[in-house]
Structure 1
Amino acid sequence: MADHRERDMPRFSGRTAVRVSLLVAAANLLAQPVLAQETPQPQADEQSGEQPIVVTGSRLSASGFNAPTPVTVMGADEIARRAAPNVSEVLNQIPAFRAQSTAATSAIFGSNLGAATADLRGLGANRTLVLVDGRRVVASTVQGGSFTPANTVDLNTIPTSLIARTEVVTGGASAAYGSDAVAGVVNLILNTRLEGLRASAQYGQTDEGDAEEYTASLAFGTSFGGDRGRFIIGGEYNENKGTGDCYTRAWCAENYGPVTNPAFAVNGLPASLIVPGVRTATATDNGIITSGPLRGLEFNPDGTTRQHDYGTYYGAGIYQIGGGDERNPFFQHYSLVAPVTRYSGMAHLEYDLTDNVTFFAEGSYAKVKASQLGAQVRDLGNITIRRDNAYLSDEVQDLMDANGLTSFTFGRIGNDFGPTRMTVDRETYRAVGGLNGQFGGTWKWEAYYQYGRTNYHQAVANNRINSNYTRAVDAVFDDNGDIVCRSTLTNPTNGCIPLNLFGAGNYDPNAVSYSFGTALQDTHLTQHVAAAQISGEPFSTWAGPVAIALGGEYREDIASGTADPISAALNFYVSGGAAISGKMNVKEGFLEVGVPLARDASFARSLDLNGAIRLTDYSVSGSVTSWKLGATWEPVDQLRLRVTRSRDIRAPNIFELYAPRSTSFQTVTDPENGGAFVLPLSILGGNANLVPEIANTLTIGGVFSPDFAGLNGLQLSVDYYDINLEGAIATYGSQIIVNLCAQGVAAMCANVVRDEDDAIVSITNVNQNVNNIKTRGLDIELLYRTALGGGDLTLRSLATHVMDLTTVDVTGRGIDRAGQNGAPTSQPSGVPNWQVNTSARYSTGPFSGEVQARYISGGYIDNTKLGPLQEGHINNDPNSVNLNRIKAYWYFNANAQYDLIRDGDRSVQLFGAINNIGNRAPPVAPSSFGPTNNVLYDVLGRTYRIGIRVAY
């Protein structure tokens, strides 16, 4: 039953890798307009005045210093050209990033709606550190039934109108910045020397007419006091009206999904089938009996019955092929893009108290309001109905009597009750004040205090109260012939109102009011930071000045919150989060040294050594040391080589330590029940015994900048990275817990609760130092600029080749997710082997235009399974599947700008952008919330944006 689309997907081989490498190194269509630089320089049109240079990845500030860690720079003009409403949209197009929380994925991430996070290397957003001007930012995301990690920074909190550039360190930087900088650092550099007024407004929508988006920004900067003072202020407003669920797109209506084939050993078909027309077999809109001799008896809207249509195939689990209800309930209601409104504002003030001492202060405020429709009630054959249920027809009761039944199990999709309705209101404040200065010619210092706070409110309405619902559906006749809840017979004042489940819409609205409620969560995050550092050049050697930086930091994080009593008791169908109370602090000291070893020698134009060490003491998880040692060598003017070896850390955050128990639902296959797909409750929570993660990182690379004829203006950088992370904080995952239990690991079986029919009811899945993660690969960046036909042509490319992304679990079993383009349910996401972004931009006079191509290499839906085109595939193996291959994908975008006015500092510009010009639908790759990987592939289709910018 192999899908025909798999046959035209070529096997990914070493020859393909070579072709892609040549494409990156020599193609004339080049990628994402950013470039690794040792000392990144801002574009001339990004700011006014002299902007201080910040070298992310190092604390040293010596002139001529070149960091051995790769740094990718993205200027403010890149965000402007893309007409991106926030910086994360452009960052997530850089191949080294894995888009984790974006407009197109925020709707499936429950809590943390509207947050835009950064995830380098696919290691998780909590292993990428986000800074603003080199300083930490209070976290925005919280714990609460979400796939987005808690304690990560929302990139939307800083208005893009005030960002001069973004620097991305693609390597470990814990020695410089502390915890979380395992995969790298994103540093948002503010345009503190902005002069004049900047304003913009834009509108966008999809080809389908939805996801309407309005964005407006305003920024102003001025100097005062005889240029001793500088002040900037900016604000941004963005509203996206969102979309419907994936059934608003034709590709979703095909209903691709996974179906279990328990007879794979004898019927010649693979154990798992990914096919169109998938429906639920154990639950329908009107209700269905799922056990015993009456199995398959389905109710009609009026309560009468008919035989359920099991379609063309049904073996086990919750899915069948064809028949049944028209839509897959797991794909319903969740918006492709959630409606989100956000506001952000920021101001920065600095004043030179003397020629050598400057006072600075900064404040920011961001607010996000978002909503989404979520899961409707899905009882997948797990409700017990007794023979004396008052709402059963005489026909069904007679059938039960004839078959000697006193009860049966029952499944129902509660579309008539409607989906849950989640609303999120999040505010983030930040205030910074401090002094910096210089003395002795080369010495610089800074000291500051920072306060940050996030207030998070979440409500999940129309949410089933599990205990009330269970009582309400168990309806019987009392002695007066009235229908009441069985529990009312012994407790007449319990308030229970009976609920009729037999046929859609046949219920008393008062019964729904009793059985459903609103889950409430309020969480507050507070952060205090006090830090000081000093850097300079104490002496010189034969090769130049030695640079040194040292400093210390104290940081305190506090989390507090409340939840309604029903949430606290884990009694809602969809968890609304839980109350948290905890605090932690850390004391850190660091030292960094840069030593020049050679200048203008016979063997080197330059040779520099760089080393750093950071001592860290956490109040909860103990002490840990991070360090790095790096070198840069320039044998000739055109070539610079670099290497860094580092030991990086990530300490457990306050949610991983103290989060109370919360619940969600995750589909798993049950190996003790014929591999059936089931949907048990997953219970999550914190663990105060966690210890810091330790990463050993190696990066080796170089930059080639030829200055000979024909190649002037070319820059090429290639960097190899290798990260080994030990003791990664994670949950085992519901599927792994179930599998290990089936393999006889008793400790895992204690986490799995089954009912009297041996069906899985719940899985306890709390945080542990559980995995080791290894990833390695190549980053390749290319830039070429030249004059052409009276204008300027810029060709650029950015590519990442992931060779390995292996997670080793507690059993020592390793799974390599490199090349896994799918996002299988209840399993870690993978990354493509290759991602390439290419662009060509041409500017002449008032016009500038750009075309962009994004390449995603072919891969697999699930690396733990084998499809027909994979070596070792045999249909009668339990890991066999009929479709596992995803072919390579290209997306094409374009943008253009036209200057109506350009007169010195005054300008008026019209701009527009089209993304996914070909309106390409995503590939088949079923996941929890749709028939594709919503994170990696575009699910919206062609989108348009137009707008105007004004500068004065």
Structure 2
Amino acid sequence: MKIQHSASWLALSAASMLFAAPAIAQQAGATGAQATAPQGDADQASNQNPGTLSADAAATRSAAISGTPQAASSGDVVVTGTRISRPNLASAAPITSVTRQDIQAQAAVNVEDVLNRLPQVAPDSQQTYNDSDGRQRIKLRSLGFERTLVLIDGKRLGTQNGQDVGIIPTSLLQRVDVLTGGASSVYGSDAVAGVVNFVLRKDFEGVQIDTNYNFYNHNNKDTIVSPLARAAGFSSPRGLTNDGGRADLTLTAGTKLFDDKLHVSGFVNYRHTDEVPITARSNSGCYLTQLQLNGPLSCGLTPSSSTSGLITPGTGPNQGAQLVNNPNGSRTFVPFAAGPGNASNYFSGYAYQRPSERVNAGGFVTLDLAPEAELYASGIWFRDKSYTDYPTIASGTVNVNCNNPYLSGSQATTIGCAAGVGSVPVTLAYRLGENNDRPDTFINTGLRLTGGVRGKVGDAWTYDVGGVYARNHQDYIPSIRIPGNLQNAVNVGGTQANPTCANGAAGCVPFDIFSAGNTNPALINYLFGTGTNQTIGTLYDVQANVTGDLTSYGITSPFAEQGLAIALGTEYRKDTLKSRADAAYLSAVGGSDTDLSQDVIEANIEVQAPLIQHKPFAELVQVNGGYRVSKYSSNPKSFNTWKIEGVYAPVSDITFRASFNKAQRAPTVVEIRQATNIAFANGGSGTFTDFCAPTPIPGPNGVTYGAPIASREVCRATGLSDALYGSQSLLCSNGTAPNGSAACAVRSGGFTADPETAYTQTYGLVLKPRFVRGLVFSVDRYRIKIDNSLGYNDYSYYTDGCLRSGGDQFFCQGIVRNASTGTLFNGGYIRQGTTNYYTSVAQGWDFQAQYALNLESIGRLDFGFNGSLTTNAGGQDSPLQPNRNCAGYYGNGCGQLIPKWSHGLRTTYTTEDKKFSASFNWRYVGALTNANNSGDPAIGGTPERALTDYYRVAPQNYFDLAFNFAIAKQFSLRLIANNLLDRAAPIVPDSYNISLARTNTIPQRYDSLGRNIAIGTTINF
């Protein structure tokens, strides 16, 4: 899609027309400069009528676009992206702000609801992701959560690996600032993609209750999935449904004491989410798959199972045949196929919206000891419990005794029992009822504490010495199959009327696998239990920062009024990660306990130097710089990050800005373990063979051997001598190999993961025309290039890359052969684990605009526009490979799911008395195309791979409407409808390969559950 797409033109044209209205009709207020003034009065009005979108919201957004600092309600200037706070400060990097009023207009329950609407953020929807662990993470520019630094009031949220922004109640947010681009020199090496800073309301006085309840109101209509689901014997609903209720309740209280020197406030927040089953939507009645290129769509029955019991004989005349017990009770077999009573809907128990329950509680305290010293502290505690349903399937290969009383004569013959045969092997996949699924449980608890002292020293200097302690504890409690119990239960003796477990195992419950519909609860409890794996992450962070305005010392440019400003800081951090598992978990799942830690010491300096101010053709010329040096315990060398920025405003109406950043990110403690912990495994789960060995060809007269898959040149690049090319000695035992050979080995770890290096450039233009008061418009070009990009690769990254590239050493070096025999066993192996890629790239344009239109005596209109054009999202796998540009594409490793263009345009009308407001929002998500149809061979877009159907997701338009009523001074009411027109989710076959979701869509990107209706209130006492 190009920006010339009609919808994109429409969005930009609408924004231009709205923002170009005659100046005579505009309000003189909310300019960027005015937004820097203390907003105590405005915030007091907002507290009185908290449901109304007031003028200070527009001012905040205008300030964010222009880059000016924003005042918290206490009068303190809060700046994101720099440690220097000055009234005239203009950001050289683009910042997007979401205000409290915007958040209320969205009826947001979770923080991810707020951020998913921003084009700069890769959407993440843990509530609609069945395999979630309940934690919400942020990924700017789709560069991964490890590269996005999350702050609360300018201090770290917690550890990168244990990040969970669900700790923050949306009702407590004053605003959210998103700075995209490198910020490592200011905040730390992990701010490669940028910073998200959550600014909280901490100075609250009085008592306030915020409530929010929303649910989905969706009209199910038949889709392409519906007839396929019904033909397979599965349901596909029709008609209107109301489900998926989510409740959010917050109690906030605060007071000032001792002549306002001591301020104390606290909150308690409760959230509850109801489950929406995957079968509650007509687009997900079954998992839609396309088994062959351009073949027909079908309901995926793999992994195969049946509520009637799927049995595959391992011997005899029907060896390998898939059979199920006849549902009519005749104790006969019928072939496994789609249809009622035969195949079960494997994913029927999955959740479209996961059930969860969360409690957050916390408090804030400040104490003014003197003008030079203020003590501050805060604490937030949380507990979140969520569930992931998986089908309860008794599966595995077992031996069936031929005198089993449940086994009929015809069934015995079918599975291979005959005279003199005591037992036969069968592979079983028996689903014990679609309503008996046992959930995996995730319990996340944690604590975040901050504290310190800050103040002023003279007129020029301020300081802040403090720290953060954060602890995240996760209990993962999966449902697990108890080893050995399935075989015990299948080995049945006695009679049908009085069956027994033949081996007499204690507590054993006999399992009738030869009849349909077994749902015995006692049997389920015998076969399945639970285990617990605990993961604990901690952050210790101590900082000391000093800022100074050196104007009073005379360190000033002769052409400027303000002098040099400087910030100095030092920081010590320690991240730890521990995991422990009980015996039940280890016996069923495996693994081992871990103790990981990493320390870092950093020091930084930042300067701001106005060179020219208020001169002809130079209203402002300013340069900024920053430098940080970091020493990580996991790396023998220190490394540095820096920034150089420039701001030029020829007149006050026009500002040009540019920022250049170098950032280096050290691996997290988890990445370090994945890189260094040495473990060997059988490659490919028993299916991988050496592509330089001869190809086994099974035949009626035994196995013969053909030519190797790889060419002689490719094998030579892996270190194999020409003399061994095609030798049977290379065959691994996990293929068809001669006796005595070993399995191909995959070595995970034992390698160094070096820091990655990122270079970020942004160039922007900010317009605040004086003849159109209230208008702020910005456009910024960004480019992020990450060298030696850190990431996890399994063994196929090296084998496939080496084979496809024709012997590229970048990939082939991951195949390490035995020095003397050339084998991939007995000392040879293939690499796997965290390692350094070649490069990752993100490029594009950001557009923002804000405009306020005064309608004289009838009220006010506010317009806010935020759009993003992505031109490049991908990178290079090696120096010899072409650039992979995944912008606008999905599939074939294009996992970013980034449309080329997306935007949001919100229009808000507020009455003159601010007792009523109506807000209308238009969200546009650009088209996504399967990479097979890209025409770009670098991402698999070759003619032979091109799809003829279901290869494109059309652009999606969503409209939201919010009404706010300030009914009384102490009470406000909000009525909201998101996805007002109930637009159904676009259907994407094989969605798990695209979005890790079984819902036949991309729930992270689209409003997949339909219209969302919400009612919210705010009550002040």
Which category of TM-score, normalised to the shorter sequence, fits these structures? Answer: 0.7 to 0.9
In the superposition, relative to structure 1, how do residues 803 and 733 fare at CA in structure 2: closer, same or farther (>3 Å)?
Answer: farther
Matches of 1:766 and 1:700 in 2, distance apart? Answer: 37
Matches of 1:871 and 1:195 in 2, distance apart? Answer: 56
Corresponding residue for residue 861 of structure 2 = 793
Matches within 5 A, 1:111-260: 111=133, 113=134, 115-139=135-159, 151-207=161-217, 208-240=241-273, 242-253=274-285, 255=286, 257-260=288-291
Deviates more, 1:497-506 or 1:194-203: 497-506
- Out of 124, 128, 131, the residue aligned to residue 108 of structure 1 is 131
Please say if residues 867 and 883 of structure 1, whose CA atoms lie closer than 8 Å, have aligned partners that are also in contact: no
Corresponding residue for residue 841 of structure 1 = 908
In the superposition, relative to structure 1, how do residues 510 and 191 fare at CA in structure 2: closer, same or farther (>3 Å)?
Answer: closer
Instruction: Tell me how far 1:429 sits from its aligned partner.
Output: 1.1
Corresponding residue for residue 19 of structure 1 = 9
Corresponding residue for residue 766 of structure 2 = 703
Residue 600 of structure 1: SS of its match in structure 2? strand
Q: CA RMSD in A?
A: 4.2
In the superposition, relative to structure 1, how do residues 506 and 624 fare at CA in structure 2: closer, same or farther (>3 Å)?
Answer: same
* Letter of the structure 1 residue corresponding to residue 259 of structure 2: G
Matches of 1:212 and 1:667 in 2, distance apart? Answer: 42
* Letter of the structure 2 residue corresponding to residue 888 of structure 1: P
Matches of 2:781 and 2:161 in 1, distance apart? Answer: 29
Output one character per residue of 1:802-848: Cα deviation in whole Å (capped at 9) or x when no partner.
1111143368465332113x578x87342111111111110113110
- Out of 914, 922, 925, the residue aligned to residue 853 of structure 1 is 922
In the superposition, relative to structure 1, how do residues 522 and 236 fare at CA in structure 2: closer, same or farther (>3 Å)?
Answer: same
The TM-score normalised by the length of structure 1 is: 0.81
Corresponding residue for residue 375 of structure 2 = 359
Corresponding residue for residue 517 of structure 1 = 529
Please say if residues 433 and 517 of structure 2, whose CA atoms lie closer than 8 Å, have aligned partners that are also in contact: no
In the superposition, relative to structure 1, how do residues 69 and 673 fare at CA in structure 2: closer, same or farther (>3 Å)?
Answer: farther
Corresponding residue for residue 418 of structure 1 = 436
- Asked if 1:924 is matched to 2:987, the reply is yes
Corresponding residue for residue 75 of structure 1 = 99
In the superposition, relative to structure 1, how do residues 226 and 293 fare at CA in structure 2: closer, same or farther (>3 Å)?
Answer: closer
Matches within 5 A, 1:419-498: 419-461=437-479, 463-465=480-482, 467-468=483-484, 471-472=487-488, 475=491
**Structure 2: segments with no counterpart, 5+ residues:** 21-29, 48-71, 218-240, 690-694, 698-745, 818-829, 993-997
* Letter of the structure 1 residue corresponding to residue 759 of structure 2: N
Output one character per residue of 1:428-456: Cα deviation in whole Å (capped at 9) or x when no partner.
21222211111231211110133222222
Residue 766 of structure 1: SS of its match in structure 2? strand
Please say if residues 985 and 1009 of structure 2, whose CA atoms lie closer than 8 Å, have aligned partners that are also in contact: no
In the superposition, relative to structure 1, how do residues 684 and 927 fare at CA in structure 2: closer, same or farther (>3 Å)?
Answer: farther
Please say if residues 530 and 585 of structure 2, whose CA atoms lie closer than 8 Å, have aligned partners that are also in contact: no
Instruction: Tell me how far 1:23 sits from its aligned partner.
Output: 4.1
Instruction: Tell me how far 1:731 sits from its aligned partner.
Output: 2.1
Corresponding residue for residue 63 of structure 2 = none
- Out of 789, 793, 796, the residue aligned to residue 732 of structure 1 is 793
Please say if residues 351 and 358 of structure 1, whose CA atoms lie closer than 8 Å, have aligned partners that are also in contact: yes
Number of aligned positions between the proteins: 858
Matches within 5 A, 1:548-567: 548-567=566-585
Output one character per residue of 1:728-752: Cα deviation in whole Å (capped at 9) or x when no partner.
332225875774587697887899x
Matches of 1:662 and 1:920 in 2, distance apart? Answer: 49
Instruction: Tell me how far 1:866 sits from its aligned partner.
Output: 6.2
Matches of 1:865 and 1:385 in 2, distance apart? Answer: 48
In the superposition, relative to structure 1, how do residues 607 and 464 fare at CA in structure 2: closer, same or farther (>3 Å)?
Answer: same
Corresponding residue for residue 587 of structure 1 = 601
Please say if residues 31 and 773 of structure 2, whose CA atoms lie closer than 8 Å, have aligned partners that are also in contact: no
Could you say which structure has the larger radius of gyration? Answer: 2
Deviates more, 1:151-160 or 1:339-348: 151-160
Instruction: Tell me how far 1:341 sits from its aligned partner.
Output: 1.6
Corresponding residue for residue 944 of structure 1 = 1013
Corresponding residue for residue 85 of structure 1 = 109
Please say if residues 376 and 418 of structure 1, whose CA atoms lie closer than 8 Å, have aligned partners that are also in contact: yes
Corresponding residue for residue 6 of structure 1 = none
Instruction: Tell me how far 1:673 sits from its aligned partner.
Output: 13
Corresponding residue for residue 318 of structure 1 = none
In the superposition, relative to structure 1, how do residues 355 and 747 fare at CA in structure 2: closer, same or farther (>3 Å)?
Answer: closer
Instruction: Tell me how far 1:132 sits from its aligned partner.
Output: 1.2
Matches of 2:985 and 2:765 in 1, distance apart? Answer: 36
Deviates more, 1:154-163 or 1:804-813: 804-813
Instruction: Tell me how far 1:503 sits from its aligned partner.
Output: 4.3
Instruction: Tell me how far 1:921 sits from its aligned partner.
Output: 1.2
Please say if residues 279 and 323 of structure 1, whose CA atoms lie closer than 8 Å, have aligned partners that are also in contact: no
Matches of 1:332 and 1:192 in 2, distance apart? Answer: 45
In the superposition, relative to structure 1, how do residues 588 and 101 fare at CA in structure 2: closer, same or farther (>3 Å)?
Answer: farther
Instruction: Tell me how far 1:400 sits from its aligned partner.
Output: 5.6
Output one character per residue of 1:278-336: Cα deviation in whole Å (capped at 9) or x when no partner.
4448544334466876634433244744553657xxxxxxxxxx89957642x322212
- Asked if 1:715 is matched to 2:786, the reply is no
Instruction: Tell me how far 1:914 sits from its aligned partner.
Output: 0.8
Deviates more, 1:849-858 or 1:651-660: 651-660
Instruction: Tell me how far 1:72 sits from its aligned partner.
Output: 1.4
Residue 101 of structure 2: SS of its match in structure 1? helix
Please say if residues 280 and 324 of structure 1, whose CA atoms lie closer than 8 Å, have aligned partners that are also in contact: no
Matches of 1:737 and 1:496 in 2, distance apart? Answer: 47
Please say if residues 932 and 947 of structure 2, whose CA atoms lie closer than 8 Å, have aligned partners that are also in contact: no
Instruction: Tell me how far 1:216 sits from its aligned partner.
Output: 1.6
Instruction: Tell me how far 1:474 sits from its aligned partner.
Output: 6.9
In the superposition, relative to structure 1, how do residues 409 and 360 fare at CA in structure 2: closer, same or farther (>3 Å)?
Answer: closer
Please say if residues 668 and 734 of structure 1, whose CA atoms lie closer than 8 Å, have aligned partners that are also in contact: no
Deviates more, 1:405-414 or 1:87-96: 405-414
In the superposition, relative to structure 1, how do residues 887 and 606 fare at CA in structure 2: closer, same or farther (>3 Å)?
Answer: same
Q: Identity over aligned residues, as a percent? A: 26
* Letter of the structure 2 residue corresponding to residue 842 of structure 1: Y
Matches within 5 A, 1:338-349: 338-349=354-365
Residue 81 of structure 2: SS of its match in structure 1? coil
Deviates more, 1:127-136 or 1:331-340: 331-340
- Out of 651, 656, 665, the residue aligned to residue 636 of structure 1 is 651
Residue 731 of structure 1: SS of its match in structure 2? strand
Deviates more, 1:387-396 or 1:637-646: 387-396
* Letter of the structure 2 residue corresponding to residue 615 of structure 1: V
Please say if residues 656 and 686 of structure 1, whose CA atoms lie closer than 8 Å, have aligned partners that are also in contact: no
Please say if residues 159 and 345 of structure 1, whose CA atoms lie closer than 8 Å, have aligned partners that are also in contact: no
Please say if residues 283 and 999 of structure 2, whose CA atoms lie closer than 8 Å, have aligned partners that are also in contact: no
Output one character per residue of 1:20-65: Cα deviation in whole Å (capped at 9) or x when no partner.
67347526599xxxx9979965862357954211221111123422
Instruction: Tell me how far 1:135 sits from its aligned partner.
Output: 0.7
In the superposition, relative to structure 1, how do residues 88 and 260 fare at CA in structure 2: closer, same or farther (>3 Å)?
Answer: closer
* Letter of the structure 2 residue corresponding to residue 593 of structure 1: V
Instruction: Tell me how far 1:87 sits from its aligned partner.
Output: 3.4
Matches within 5 A, 1:590-601: 590-601=604-615
- Out of 624, 631, 656, the residue aligned to residue 639 of structure 2 is 624
Matches of 1:303 and 1:625 in 2, distance apart? Answer: 75
Please say if residues 657 and 688 of structure 1, whose CA atoms lie closer than 8 Å, have aligned partners that are also in contact: no
In the superposition, relative to structure 1, how do residues 738 and 36 fare at CA in structure 2: closer, same or farther (>3 Å)?
Answer: farther
